[in-house]
Amino acid sequence: MKTTPYLLQLRIQGIKNIKEPIQLDFYQKTVDKNFDPSKYKVKAIFGENGSGKTAIILSVFILQNILLNKSYLLDKDSQTRLVESINKHTKSSFIECEYVINTGEEIDIFSYRVDFSIRDDNRVHIDGELFQTKSNNSRNKYKKVFETKQGELIYYGNKDNFTVLQHKTQNLLEQQSFLTCVINNENYEIFKRDKMLIPLCLLVVFGSSIMTYLDETDRHFNYYLKQRIEDFCAGETSNENIKGFFDNNNHILNSFSDELYVPKDKYDNFEKRISKKCEFLKIFKPDLQDIKIEKKEYADHYRCVLKMVYPLYTIDKEFESRGIKKLIELYDCFDAASYGFISFIDELDSNINDVYLGKLIEYFVYYGEGQLCFTSHNLSPMRTLNEEKSSISFLSNINTIHTWTRKGNENPENAYKKGFIEDSPFNVDPSDFLGVLGGSDE
């Protein structure tokens, strides 16, 4: 059985213009032994300009980086972006998620929350973390795995290792997550026979299963981190399905590379991914014959340039249409979501033909094995998702979320346009632009 996570719920506050807590629900049923997310694989988020759609995707990107990237809060550029991303009123944020993983033995539900804020030094620090777990038959009673507050480990589920881990994470937990402290601890011996290792590994699996697309954002995984994660999850106490996750998903995990700089030991895999991207693009541009890679060798990597080959000419990828470049950029997210990962894409509709957009969404509805969550300004995805359960959510500019439920013959597109969605009245009239656009100032 494939060990893949399913995101049940996402709660955020304090990211960009989301001042009040919002909650996105991805599965509308109680998780039990009959858990079946096949009808809840796609989530489309609509909202007015400035309502916070991008903030949702950004929060997932931040969550993954805090969770797994030990250098994230130490990096100057990341700190600058984070400080600008935190709401100017709250000056603090939290991101909380609930997810489920079926390892083949039982269905486990997990909850992870991280709180962080801007301190007097004008840097973002972690204020605390809470990671909990329960089985689907535990009647909503979570058990803590670990908890941190103000830079200190205050709870760990294995008392025998608590003091050791508290000491090893001292002075670290305001700048990196407890999980990265554990992953980067060379002494794996302390986790032998530690019953907390499995939930920690499954938190790694969850974090590793996330893909995000944000324009002009470094979306790719650190290569050194992947190896350390695999080493950590290969411990003696770990579940075979957890170990198998990394072997079975190498073709996805190894694809997180910058197309300009590719480590030499990942080049063969990169070449295969570009070949697959070419086949993907041929669906939209049948006259595309090949994508060639021009590479220059440096110390431990190649600098690569992609060339688009057509029957009568060859052009650099940078001179392709914006729509084709967008499809190239989105391919890894699409592929990941089709295979069982969780992909979040901001403005999926921008630069993509409306017909193609509809067919892509239909693919994930009918054939995708993972989750696809995206924001959109174009309303056409509403028509594709009208029959799907809880697939359409509306985010208002007062930080409320309303999920579409069908009422009679009304469709979401018309309801949205007419201002019938709660907290989302579109009260703009063409006459409002008179005197603002065109004409003289007199």
Sheet holding 42-47, edge to edge: 210-213, 342-345, 371-375, 42-47, 392-395, 401-403
Whether residues 83 and 232 share a domain: the answer is: yes
Instruction: For residue 437, tell me if it sits in a domain.
Output: no
Lowest mean pLDDT among 138-142, 312-316, 387-391: 138-142
Question: 418 falls in which pLDDT band (50, 70, 90)?
Answer: confident
* Residue range 258-276: mean pLDDT, rounded: 86
What tokens does 426 get?
């579109």
Q: Say yes or no: 118 and 258 in one domain.
A: no
50 vs 67, which has greater pLDDT? 67
Do 270 and 418 have their domain in common?
no
Residue 213 is inside which H or E element, if any? strand 210-213
Strands 92-102 and 261-263: unpaired
In terms of domains, do 244 and 304 share one?
Answer: no
Position 407 in a domain = yes
* Average per-residue pLDDT for the chain: 87
What does the CA dihedral 259, 263, 266, 270 come to, rounded to 10 degrees?
20
pLDDT tier at 218, thresholds 50, 70, 90: very low
- When pLDDT is cut at 50, 70 and 90, the band that residue 407 belongs to is confident
How does pLDDT run across 352-399, given as a tens digit for each residue? 999 999 999 999 999 999 999 999 998 999 999 988 878 999 999 899
209 and 296 inside one domain: no
Return the ∠ at Cα 342 (arms to 400 and 92), rounded to 5°. Answer: 45
Domain boundary among 266, 297, 325: 325
Domain boundary, last residue among 295, 325, 355: 325
- The verdict on 226 and 288 lying in the same domain is no
Residue 93 included in any domain = yes
Separation between Cα atoms, residue 307 and residue 294, nearest integer Å: 7
Q: Mean pLDDT throughout 39-51?
A: 92
pLDDT category of residue 223 using cuts at 50, 70 and 90: very low
Regarding whether 352 and 281 lie in a shared domain, the answer is: no
Instruction: Please check whether residue 439 lies inside any domain of the structure.
Output: no
Please say which residue of 297, 325, 353 terminates a domain: 325
pLDDT score of 81 more than 80: yes
Q: How many other β-carbons are positioned within 10 Å of the β-carbon of residue 222?
A: 17
In a domain, 156, yes or no: yes
Q: Are residues 64 and 207 in the same domain?
A: yes
Query: Nearest CA to 253 among 306, 207, 187?
Result: 207
441 is a domain residue = no
Q: Which of 7-16, 27-36, 290-299 bottoms out in mean pLDDT, i.e. has the lowest?
A: 27-36
The pLDDT-based confidence of 137 (bands split at 50, 70, 90) is: low
146 and 9 assigned to the same domain: yes
Question: What's the pLDDT score for residue 15?
Answer: 96
pLDDT-derived band of residue 441, with 50, 70 and 90 as boundaries?
Answer: low
Q: 123 and 271 share a domain?
A: no
Q: Is residue 310 part of a domain?
A: yes
Report the number of distinct structural domains present in the chain. 2
Same domain, 304 and 363: no
Q: Which residues does 291 contact at the CB level (< 8 Å), separation at least 6? A: 274, 275, 277, 278, 281, 306, 307, 308, 309, 317
Q: Which domain holds residue 281?
A: 254-325
> 203: which 2 tokens?
């938190």
The runs of H, that is alpha helices, within 304-399 are 322-339, 354-366, 380-385
Structure confidence at residue 221 as a pLDDT band (50, 70, 90): very low
User: Is the domain of 94 the same as that of 125?
Assistant: yes
- 287 confidence band (pLDDT: 50, 70, 90): very high
Determine which of 121-125, 167-171, 227-231, 385-389 has the lowest per-residue pLDDT on average: 227-231
Closest residue by Cα to residue 171 from 157, 152, 158? 152
In-domain check, residue 371: yes
